[in-house]
Amino acid sequence: MADAVVVVALLAVAGLATAAVANRDPARQALVLAVLGTALAVLFTVLQAPDVGLSQLAVGSALTPLLIMLSVRKVRRRSAHGKDSKQ
Amino acid sequence: MGSESAVTAVTHVLPYLVAAYVFLVGCYGLATSRNLIHAVGCLAVCQSATYVLLLAVGYRDGGTAPVFSDIRPGSRPVVDPVVQALTLTDVVVGATVTALLLALTVQIAKRHGTVDPDELRELRG
Amino acid sequence: MNPRARLWLVVLGGGGLAALLVAACLRLPAFGGPWHPYGDRAVRAALARHIANTIASVNFDQRAFDTMGEMTILFAAVLGCVVLLRQARDEHRDPPEPCEVAAPVRRYALVVLPIALVTGLYVIAHGQLSPGGGFQGGVVAATALHLMYLGADYAALERIRPVEAFEIGDALSASAYLVLGFAGVLAGGAFLANTLLPYGTFNTLSSGGTVPLLNAAIGMEVASAVVVLLARFLDQAVEIEEGSGS
Amino acid sequence: MHRLLPLLPAVPLLGAGLLVAGGRHLPRPVAEAFGCLAAATTAALAIVLLPHSSPALVEWVGGWFPKGGESVGIVLIGDGPSLGMAALVSLLTLAALAYSWHYFDEPPRGHAGTFPALILLFQGGMCGFAVAGDLFNAFVFFELMSAVAYALTGYRIDEAKAVQGALSFALVNSLGAYFMLMGIALLYARTGELAMAKIAEGLNAAAGHHGPDALTLTAFVLVLTGLLVKSAAVPFQFWLPDAHAVAPTPVCMLLSGVMVELGVYGVWRVYGTVFSGPGGLPAADVTRTLVVLGVLTGAVGAVMCWYQRHIKRLLAFSTIAHTGLFLIAVGVLKAEADDGAALYILGHAGVKAALFACAGILLDRYGTVDEFSLHGRARHLRGVGATFAVAGLALAGLPPFGTGLGKAVSEEAVGAPLTVVYVAASALTGAAVLRVAARVFLGFGPRPEEREGEEREEDKTSGADEEPETRQRLVRVPRTMGTVPAVLLAAALAVGVVPGFAGLVGHAVDEAGTWGVFSSVHWTATGVLLDLLSTLLAVGLALVAVTRPGLLSAPEWALPLRRLQSGHVGDYVAWLLVGTTLLGALALPAVLR
């Protein structure tokens, strides 16, 4: 039973990692990374590593995507601003 | 018997293969990325592969988490705490290094007006 | 190099790397094997020092020197972000206009904020007993503080979050970790030696000698570091504008 | 004494922490003086420990001494090479801080302590890596020095090139570090240990009589990839010129002077401690791998160096060429070659840091580091010009500089065919520096012309129109900036001439090495003649290039090589993957036997 959960979590991680790489739009990638972070947290918990799971949940599914979203916002705002000044 | 042993054989290496696959996918994304923010995200994917590998290496069948606040020491086998400690710190530190890379990307966007590596026309030759 | 040539290189290099990795995976000990010599030693050492959570013992006692390095990476990355995201010579600050937040969101954020904050502090404090500790709790507490951005607005966040104070807190808690290390040497023992304090009663908050202290220092450091990081990125995303001002 | 080993990284780190905590309202000179004090204390500590390093100091951090041969702690090794590297790092840090004293760029508002704090963190990371005896601990400090280096490289955020170079550097090196971590995880799975010596025991026990298997090979390749990315071996080298051309000058001194060399040191340490036993990789395969990469690195670095006109970029490529030479020396796996590499690294650190310091003065005085546009403009900077020219000669191997001694000793150890690489690479890099010296400081030869016809992409990285790193353009060279390169050059000279110094270095390296032999290190007639040959070649090439620019201008066949340096981070990552495969292919015979 535990083995089956591990296998499912592993396959989910592999699939989400592929999706994170394949999503070329960084804002959407940030969302996929958040889900990947959660899947990793689940995997780590079933691998009997609750400490790491907790850490991954806080960092991988909240902090890193948040930082990426903020960067995306800055970059987009900048390019919008740049276009305005050109007009 | 044949199929069962095949299943065990797969579960014996599957976690390692998944780690290797995630690592390679991350490398592929990094090399072919058209957006530097996306590239930083791919690097984070590569990094998570190292966590999967480390924790898979430390797993023990039937083991429990090495925390003895609610189990009696010695009553059950526990998984390897060392790899968990290594991974735990690296997760948090990895996020801050990602932040450092994103900070550089934000500055590139400001100075070059683009985050597409194909359009960065400096530092050649 | 054109994208096609690059793709060929990636296929060539990635193929070789894949072959190496797969060959190595097939030679690894089977997943879930019983042989973990270092891990077993670490468990024994943790129990000998009355620490219930072996991982806390590895992080803050047995391999505390690693954690010192990791903590310094954190400190350096945050300092680096502060330097890289500083206001450049040709930029100016433009305070954002307060925007309306939907009332349910505001209520939700204001209710969750204290809960999340307390959870974070609890996770830090119980590091050597149950899963958790300075690294995880610090991130939770710092992220919680930023619910304020959702709950009220940016200006309110700026008021409860004096970034300068958190930058100093970050540096001070990093220094505190190092000073605890030096204390071992000054007492005539080894660097970061956990011999200064009694090991206490197993499974209580004060058990484990210097482990709770190091754990607390890390919790403070991580929390301050994440606050500073998020503040710098928010600053860039919301407040700093290009051009010398209008 | 062994109790003091962990302080080598801890002292600068604590200094940085206090500087950031309290440096907010300190006046700049106080903050910088404190930084210098912390760096100097560490240097003094390393130098005090050095005489006690025979037999090697061993410290278990936290007092976790092994019981029954087993420990749960982290081990630090204080032998000659590790303490020597720590001392070199600390002294060069001190030089960089002195060079940037008061004149370096305006600090961020109200953060006078930030720049010295970052430099101290860099120093702490490098010292920690030097003394690490535990593979994961080495990785941690490796990451620390990388992370600080990214921030320092991108320090001048107003410069478009600086942030681009810093990001390429950061992405490639972070990926390299993850390769290394994967390798460490594989080794942990096989041996269940993290201390380098224990991993070696585990590998030997697991291999039995069969020798290494695919797992050992892959772990070796992955760990080596991380270290070779740091030491900028071909084809992992692309990040280095981009980062070095744009980093602030004091940072360049550290990057080129010691950080890259620490990568080579890491290769030496990891191979010698982990993989040199019967369970590791056979010597022949390691030699093949490292020597092939070393020769490629030396050749590519030297050729690319010759075709640069951006002076800092030119120096960066010469660092690549010299790393190739160090790698060859480490790769032949002989005690004498190790001694040569150690002396060469010591001499090279002084010479290269002095050259970067001089280039920094040009940048701050004229706002450009373009060889063409600087033609004849720096005639009155006599002291700087003399230092630059002498450093160029030293780079080519002029006796009795430390570089010449290191080169001579290495040449003798590696044998005749590889000696050609040493002579050619040092002559070509030295010639490029001398060419710059003759044009910029003496105004020799015709003013070089831009290429006729359309300008190529490759010629745009010229180094013209750079922002000075000082608050305003210098009118006169401050005493600190002028003195530091001269002192560094004198130190490089001292490595070659102080009687008994070379012998001491050689003895310390041999004692820490795994070969169990002691070779005597001294100047030999052949060595001096070969050094003179490469110096004469360098002078000759430089003279021809300056007086008859047409004869030695970039031929068409060099163009593809220059095009590879594309500034595109995707390309760099692709080459990194190819490099890993190349390493695997070169070392593959180890598992086929």
The identity of residue D41, as a single letter, is T
**Alpha helices (H) along D521-568:** 525-547, 559-564
Residues of B in contact with A28 (CB under 8 A): none
Question: Looking at the complex, does the CB of residue A74 fall below 8 Å from at least one CB of chain B?
Answer: yes
Three-state secondary-structure class, residue C69: helix
The answer to whether C143 contacts A62, with C-beta atoms less than 8 Å apart, is yes
Question: What pLDDT band is residue D275 in, cutting at 50, 70 and 90?
Answer: very high
Residue of B nearest to C236 (CA): B106
B46 touches chain D (CB under 8 A): yes
The stretch D436-455 carries a mean pLDDT of: 78
Mean pLDDT score, B38-59: 95
**Amino acid present at D180:** M
Q: Is B112 on the interface with D (CB under 8 A)?
A: yes
Tell me, what amino acid is at D520?
A: S
pLDDT above 90 as % of chain D = 72
The domains of chain B, with CATH numbers, are: 2-124 (1.10.287.3510)
Q: Residues of D with CB below 8 A from B105's CB?
A: 167
DSSP state letters, A73-86: HHHHHHHHHHHHHH
Tell me the DSSP string of D222-250.
HHHHHHHHHTT-TTS-THHHHHHHHS-HH
Q: Helices D160-191 and D569-587: crossing angle, nearest 10°?
A: 30
Distance CA D53, CA C48 (A): 33
Listed residue (B56, B5, B61, B20) closest to A3, CA to CA: B61
Which of B57, B118, B121 is nearest residue D185 as measured by Cβ atoms?
B57
Nearest CA-CA partner of C54 in D173, B71, D430: B71
User: What is the complex's ipTM, to 2 decimals?
Assistant: 0.94
SS3 D60: strand
> Which residues in chain A have Cβ-Cβ distances shorter than 8 Å to C226?
63
- The pLDDT score that the predictor gives to residue A84 is 47
CA–CA distance, A12 with B15 (Å, rounded to integer): 12
User: Which residues of chain D from 548 to 577 reach within 8 Å of chain C, CB to CB?
Assistant: 563-564, 566, 568, 570-571, 573-577
Nearest-by-Cβ selection for C43 from B28, B66, B91: B66
Provide the CB-side half-sphere exposure for D168 (13 A, CA).
Answer: 35
Minimum distance, in Å, between the CA of residue D485 and any CA atom of chain C:
28
pLDDT of res. C98: 66
CA distances from residue B90 to C70, C73, C192 in whole angstroms, order as listed: 7, 10, 20
* pLDDT score of D27: 85
Q: How many CA atoms lie within 13 A of D344 on its CB side?
A: 32
- The answer to whether residues D96 and D487 touch, using CB atoms and an 8 Å cutoff, is no
Instruction: Give the 3-state DSSP-derived string for C149-195, with helices as H, strands as E and coil as C.
Output: HHHCCHHHHHHHCCHHHHHHHHHHHHHHHHHHHHHHHHCCCCCCCCC
Q: Is the pLDDT of residue C103 over 80?
A: no
Taken in order C106, C109, C115, C121, the sign of the CA dihedral is negative
Closest by alpha carbon to D300, among D562, D576, D542? Answer: D562
Please spell the DSSP secondary structure of D379-440, one letter per residue. Answer: TT-HHHHHHHHHHHHHHHT-TTSHHHHHHHHHHHHH-HHHHHHHHHHHHHHHHHHHHHHHHH
d(CA C43, CA C214): 19
The pLDDT confidence band at residue B1, using thresholds 50, 70 and 90, is: very low
What tens digit of pLDDT does each residue of C227-242 get? 999 988 988 887 777 6
Task: Quote the CA–CA distance of D156 and D402 in Å, as a whole number.
Answer: 33
- pLDDT of D85 > 90? The answer is yes
CB contact under 8 A, B38 and A44: no
Listed by number, the residues of chain D in 32-91 with a beta carbon closer than 8 Å to a beta carbon of chain C are: 59-64, 70-74
Local structure of residue C235 (DSSP, 8 states): I
CA distance C129 to chain D (A): 20
**Nearest by CB: A29 against B18, B41, B56:** B41
Per DSSP, the residues of B63-84 read: -B-SB-SSS-TTSS-B--HHHH
Mean of the pLDDT values across residues B63-90? Answer: 88
Chains touching C (at least 3 CB pairs under 8 A) are A, B, D
> Three-class SS of residue D533?
helix
Distances (CA, A) of D566 to B118, C170, D307, D569: 10, 39, 15, 8
Q: What is the mean pLDDT of residues C84-109?
A: 76
- All residues of chain A having their beta carbon less than 8 Å from the beta carbon of residue B106 are 71, 74-75
Q: Of D3, D70, D147, which is closest to C73 when you measure between CB atoms? A: D147
Two structure tokens written together for D208 = 């039995």
pLDDT band at D453 (very low <50, low <70, confident <90, very high): very low
- Do D388 and D358 meet the contact criterion of CB atoms below 8 Å apart? yes
User: Which residue blocks in chain B are alpha helix, DSSP H?
Assistant: 2-32, 36-58, 81-112
Quickly state the pLDDT bin for C243 (edges 50, 70, 90): low
Q: Is any Cβ of chain D less than 8 angstroms from the Cβ of C185?
A: yes
- pLDDT band at residue D521 under the 50/70/90 scheme: confident
Mean pLDDT of chain D: 91
What 8-state DSSP symbol labels residue D557? G
Q: What is the pLDDT of residue D110?
A: 62
Residue of C nearest to B22 (CA): C18
Q: What is the distance in angstroms between the Cα of D96 and the nearest Cα belonging to chain B?
A: 24
Distance from CA of B63 to the nearest CA of A (A): 7
Averaged pLDDT for residues C163-188: 92
User: Which residues have a Cβ under 8 Å from the Cβ of C101 and sit 6 or more positions away?
Assistant: C150, C151, C152, C153
Q: pLDDT tens-digit profile of D216-251?
A: 999 999 999 999 999 999 899 999 999 988 899 999
List D59's β-bridge partners, or say none: D76
Residue C242 DSSP class = E
Q: Min CA distance, A12 vs chain C (Å)?
A: 18
> pLDDT value at position C104?
78
Two tokens, residue D487: 């002192």
Residue D327 to residue D329: CA distance in whole angstroms: 5
Q: Tokens at residue A40, please? A: 């990793």
Query: D554 versus D326: which is more confidently predicted?
Result: D326
Band of the pLDDT at B3, cuts 50, 70, 90?
low
CB contact B44 to C (< 8 Å): no
Q: Which chain B residues are closer than 8 Å to D167 by Cβ?
A: 36, 101, 104-105, 108
- For D192, residues 6+ apart whose C-beta sits below 8 A from its C-beta are C35, C36, C37, C38, C39, D202
Overall average pLDDT of the D279-284 stretch: 92
Residues A67, B95: C-beta atoms closer than 8 Å? yes
Q: How far apart are CA D23 and CA D18, in angstroms?
A: 7
B47/chain A closest Cα distance in angstroms: 11
Q: How far apart are the first and last CA of chain A?
A: 63
Cis peptide before D235 (omega within 30 of 0): yes
Residue D109 gets which letter from DSSP? T
Q: What is the pLDDT of residue C153?
A: 67
Answer yes or no: do C136 and A66 touch at CB < 8 A: no
Read off the pLDDT of residues D549-578 as tens digits, 9 standing for 90 and up: 777 776 777 788 888 888 899 999 999 999
d(CA D213, CA D475): 63
All residues at 6 or more sequence positions from D472 whose CB lies less than 8 Å from its CB, including other chains: none
Check CB contact of B117 with chain C, cutoff 8 Å: no
Q: Which residues in chain A have their CB less than 8 angstroms from residue B78's CB? A: 48
Does A contact D via 3+ CB–CB distances below 8 Å? no
DSSP state of C8: H
Pairing mode of beta strands C240-242, D57-60? unpaired
Residue A86 is predicted with a pLDDT of 40
Inform me whether the pLDDT recorded for D48 exceeds 90: yes
pLDDT of residue C146: 78
CA distance B55 to chain D (A): 9
pTM score: 0.95
| Single-letter amino acid code for the residue at C87 | Q
Any A CB within 8 A of B37 CB: yes
Top mean-pLDDT range of A35-49, C149-163, D18-32: A35-49
**Residue in D150, D159, D172, D175 to test binding to B, most B beta-carbons within 10 Å:** D175
**Is the pLDDT higher at D497 or at D552?**
D497
